[in-house]
Amino acid sequence: MKLLEEKIRQDGKAVNEHILKVDSFINHQVDPALMQDMGREIADHFRSRGITKVATIESSGISPALMTAFALEVPMVILKKQPSKILNQDLYQTVVTSFTKETNYELTLSKKYITAEDHVLLVDDFLANGEAATAAIRLIRMSHATIAGLGVLIEKSFQPGREKLKSQGIEVYALARIGKMAENYIEFID
């Protein structure tokens, strides 16, 4: 998506070879019209797949997922982060180890909101290591739902997320793919 690449070039900031700041339009301040355009583009890519739910991970995936779900006219389900294990028979639960934040958390999903009949599109803001997406997919599969794919705004293609998901049979669709970064330097993959 050329629009997002241009926005990243203009308002994003490559801090070093790993850290991209997009705080001004995606993470902290959000551009709602751009978010709708991005959600619509992800929706268009997956439109013919019979998706019944859009799932996302709390909380930075909520904006793109809401706009994607709106465009597909299906509900959005937010996979919730819990700081510690809670005991609840009505929930699916899985532990996520975050390398970037060096913390563990519990990802949870109410059994009511994704079932074996669902075909789920996962949407998130970033794909890097694929650790959060892998946990989300593990959680969704506990319900025996099928997974249509993962749609993300920005993929750090120099990290192993896409390969990790591909090896699990998950299609990844990214609006902007970054091949290489350095301080104040960003190289996109077409």
- Minimal distance, residue 86 CB to a copy of itself, in Å: 12
Rounded CA Rg of the chain: 16
Of 11, 113, 158, 171, the residue at the interface with a copy of itself (CB under 8 A) is: 113
One-letter amino acid of 115:
T
The residue within the footprint of a copy of itself, chosen from 20, 22, 51, 66 (CB under 8 A), is 66
Binding-residue pattern over the window 40 to 59 for a copy of itself, x denoting contact by CB under 8 A = ------------------xx
Query: Does residue 104 interact with a copy of itself by CB under 8 A?
Result: no
Q: Which two tokens stand for residue 87?
A: 């005991």
What is the phi-psi region of residue 130: left when phi exceeds 0, alpha when psi lies from -120 to 50, beta otherwise? left
Task: Supply φ then ψ for residue 142, to 5 degrees.
Answer: -60, -25
* 8 A C-beta contact, residue 134 and residue 164: yes
Kindly report the number of other CB atoms within 10 A of residue 85's CB atom. Answer: 12
Site for a copy of itself, residues 74 to 93, rule: CB under 8 A? 74-78, 80, 83
Among 62, 82, 131, 188, binds a copy of itself (CB under 8 A): 62
78 vs 141: CA distance, rounded Å = 15
Asked if 36 touches a copy of itself (CB under 8 A), the answer is yes
- Chain residues binding a copy of itself by CB under 8 A are 23-25, 27-33, 35-36, 58-59, 62-63, 66-67, 69-70, 73-78, 80, 83, 110, 112-113
